[in-house]
Amino acid sequence: MMTTTRGAALSLLLLVAVGAAVADAPATFLGACYCRAAGTLRCTSDLSEPDCQRHCDEALCDEWFWKERLPCWNWGYGG
């Protein structure tokens, strides 16, 4: 009986520890990644900031910026 109680207590402790670790994990936000290369501004949507930086490094961007939780903006109003 003591072994079953001890096993249940250890299982409960493990569940609490895992739940606390998941709650403390930082959220990864996706957003719009803008890259300016050769005078042209391009946007790639749904990237995290580290993915945006990696994408822009590979694309040899002159400058880049990332907008958290926003879609790409087409700089126009229809038509």
Residue pair 74/35 in contact by the 8 Å Cβ criterion: no
**Residue 61 pLDDT exceeds 50:** yes
Over residues 6-47, the pLDDT tens digits come to 655 556 555 555 455 445 656 889 999 999 999 999 999 999
- Those residues with Cβ within 8 angstroms of residue 34's Cβ, 6 or more apart along the chain or in another chain: 41, 42, 43, 64, 65, 66, 67, 72
Q: Using the structure block, give the residue that is written with the tokens 């400058």.
A: 63
Over residues 42-60, the pLDDT tens digits come to 999 999 999 999 999 999 9
Task: Tell me how far apart the alpha carbons of residues 61 and 34 are, in angstroms, rounded to a whole number.
Answer: 9
- Name the band, by pLDDT with cuts 50, 70 and 90, for residue 79: very low
Q: What residue segments make up the domains of the chain, in order of their start?
A: 31-68
